[in-house]
């Protein structure tokens, strides 16, 4: 290999290890000028494009690399990673299988294939592949944490925690393992140990992209400094449901003597106008006023020493606009039966959306045919549900008339009950104090904890849980039985 080419490749690898994509790309483009079809340069450019989510470019670079060097297990595994991100699972499996055939001792390809099998819910096979990876390299930290994620999904939480701990013993700064461990602890209700390491979300590249890291000159408040006479900015992260759930903490922060600025997404602005404890409301994107401290909403449980027994639970902490409530009362017309609001799916791109989005043709199994008036609380209906929705004909739909969460809240106020999967709407309904039934997967999001049918966050919530992975029919049967007895 040309010495200069070798130097540039080594410098690019060093930059990649330091997560400096710009520097790595600069070295690689210089190398490409020396040898335009070098398979190693092309592969690394593909890796960089994939990390930037420029998947079309990534596929082009990786396929070009493989055209020059077809039996490159590294490039094949990288190709599998791109297909995994694109949810093209069959193509991903094919790429990993080819990599393993070329190099049967390539532990990363075994573990990556396990990750695809996990997405396909083929959990036993996934564990076997991670075990194979770990037998090849017992010090492979990613393999331990990847297997821990599957154990989490199987509700083997203590074993999952042990696997994440093993990963951390091998790589103490492995932030994704900290994040995954925190989710296990929080799901168990171990807030004392889970909340501190839940903060690792900001150091996890994957989670940080979801949460939306913000940078401020002012320090983050973690409950140490006095807020008496100080101004603090509280702001959202992750989804609308998270914002609705954790805006309850504004009152507690205000009670510490703070002047509270709450930055809100525009879609939630009118709904948040009367949240207790807020001194000033700012719509996200507007210029922020002066503040002394700042804190994301999901850090407040840690800063305020929340435990299961100390969750600030209120009968309701959001209110609807009375005029809007009346407008929706008129729009709904004369009431002839109990009105039930329904949510069965989300339009979100959230990675785990499949655990909370159902097909309408399945969801209606939970609904008695007579005795109730059903009202869709979703603003949109997925393409896969439209034909059945039209044929079913027993659910009222308002679509674009739900202009904001304030409209949805006003509509909910006119209902007797809301039945929903785990989306933002049941958070809204419960925060309004409306009776709310939530349908949960076998292993739900951490906030719903384990086994219990109630929620310490919301007095008006009733939880319906899958007794086994994928068993929605048992949930539908229980919901239908309870509806027939109210």
Residues 144/166, Cβ–Cβ less than 8 Å = yes
Please write the tens of the pLDDT for every residue from 442-460.
Answer: 999 999 999 999 999 999 9
Residue 22 confidence (pLDDT) above 90: no
Cα 9 → chain centroid: 36
Residue 208 confidence (pLDDT) above 70: no
pLDDT at 44: 86
Please write the tens of the pLDDT for every residue from 314-340.
Answer: 999 999 999 999 999 999 999 999 999
Please write the tens of the pLDDT for every residue from 68-108.
Answer: 999 999 999 999 999 999 999 999 999 999 999 999 999 99
Q: Stretch 467-474: mean pLDDT, rounded?
A: 95
- φ and ψ at 373, to 5 degrees? -110, 120
Residue 37 confidence (pLDDT) above 70: yes
Give the percent of the chain with pLDDT over 70. Answer: 92
Residues 146/174, Cβ–Cβ less than 8 Å = no
Residues of the chain with CATH 3.40.50.2000: 322-483
Please write the tens of the pLDDT for every residue from 9-21.
Answer: 666 766 667 667 7
User: CA-CA distances (angstroms) from residue 244 to 251, 268, 319, 409?
Assistant: 14, 9, 12, 12
For 235, the enclosing helix (H) or strand (E) is: strand 231-235
pLDDT at 15: 67
Report the Cα–Cα distance between both ends of the chain, in Å, rounded.
77
pLDDT at 136: 97
Rounded to the nearest integer, the mean pLDDT of the chain is: 92
Residue 352 confidence (pLDDT) above 70: no
Number of CB atoms found within 10 A of residue 373's CB: 17
Which residues are CB-contacts of 403 (< 8 A; sequence separation ≥ 6)? none
pLDDT band (50, 70, 90) for residue 213: confident
Query: Does 3.40.50 match the CATH number of domain 231-310?
Result: yes
- pTM value? 0.90
Query: Does 3.30.1050.10 match the CATH number of domain 322-483?
Result: no
From the options 2.30.30.140, 3.40.50.300, 1.25.40.10, 3.60.110.10, give the CATH code of 3-210.
1.25.40.10
Residues of the chain with CATH 1.25.40.10: 3-210
Q: How far apart are CA 343 and CA 395, in angstroms?
A: 11
Residues 298/234, Cβ–Cβ less than 8 Å = no
pLDDT band (50, 70, 90) for residue 362: very high
Residue 419 confidence (pLDDT) above 90: yes
Residue 53 confidence (pLDDT) above 70: yes
């Amino acid at each position: 290999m040309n010495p200069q080419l070798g130097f540039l490749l080594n410098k690019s690898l060093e930059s990649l290890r330091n997560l400096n994509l710009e520097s790595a790309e600069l070295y690689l483009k210089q190398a490409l000028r020396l040898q335009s079809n070098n398979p190693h340069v092309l592969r690394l450019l593909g890796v960089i494009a994939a990390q930037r989510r420029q998947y079309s470019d990534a596929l082009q670079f990786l396929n070009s690399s493989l055209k020059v060097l077809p039996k490159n297990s590294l490039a094949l595994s990288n190709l599998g990673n791109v297909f995994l991100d694109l949810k093209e699972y069959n193509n991903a499996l094919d790429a990993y299988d080819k990599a393993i055939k070329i190099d049967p001792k390539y532990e990363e390809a075994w573990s990556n294939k396990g990750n695809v099998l996990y997405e396909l819910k083929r959990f036993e096979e996934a564990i076997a592949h991670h075990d194979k990876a770990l037998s090849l390299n017992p010090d492979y930290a990613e393999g331990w944490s990847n297997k821990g994620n599957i154990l989490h999904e199987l509700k083997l939480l203590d074993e999952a925690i042990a696997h994440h701990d093993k990963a951390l013993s091998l790589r103490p700064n492995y932030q994704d393992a900290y994040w995954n461990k925190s989710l296990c602890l929080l799901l168990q209700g171990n807030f004392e140990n889970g909340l501190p390491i839940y903060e690792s979300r900001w150091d996890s590249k994957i989670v940080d992209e979801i949460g939306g890291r913000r940078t401020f000159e002012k320090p983050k408040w973690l409950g140490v400094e006095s807020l008496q006479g100080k101004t603090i900015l509280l702001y959202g992260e992750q989804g609308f449901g998270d914002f609705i759930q954790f805006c309850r903490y504004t009152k507690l922060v205000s009670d510490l003597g703070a002047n509270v600025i709450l930055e809100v997404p525009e879609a939630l602005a009118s709904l948040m106008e009367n949240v207790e404890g807020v001194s000033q409301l700012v719509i996200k994107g507007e210029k922020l006023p002066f503040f002394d401290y700042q804190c994301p909403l999901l850090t407040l449980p840690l800063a305020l020493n929340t435990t299961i027994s100390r969750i600030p639970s209120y009968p309701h902490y959001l209110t609807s606009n009375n005029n809007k409530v009346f407008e929706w009362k008129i729009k709904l017309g004369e009431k002839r039966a109990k009105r039930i609001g329904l949510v069965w799916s989300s339009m979100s791109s959230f990675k785990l959306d499949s655990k909370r989005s159902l097909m309408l043709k399945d969801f209606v199994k939970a609904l008695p045919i007579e005795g109730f008036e059903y009202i869709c609380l979703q603003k949109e209906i997925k393409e896969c549900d439209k034909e059945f929705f039209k044929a079913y004909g027993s659910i009222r739909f308002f679509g674009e008339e739900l202009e904001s969460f304030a409209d949805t809240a006003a509509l909910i106020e006119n209902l007797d009950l809301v039945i929903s999967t785990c989306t933002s709407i049941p958070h809204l309904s419960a925060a309004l104090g409306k009776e709310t039934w939530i349908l949960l997967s076998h292993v739900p999001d951490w906030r719903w904890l384990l086994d219990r049918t109630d929620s310490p966050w919301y007095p008006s919530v009733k939880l319906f849980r899958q007794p086994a992975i994928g068993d929605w029919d048992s949930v539908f049967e229980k919901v239908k039985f309870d509806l027939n007895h109210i």
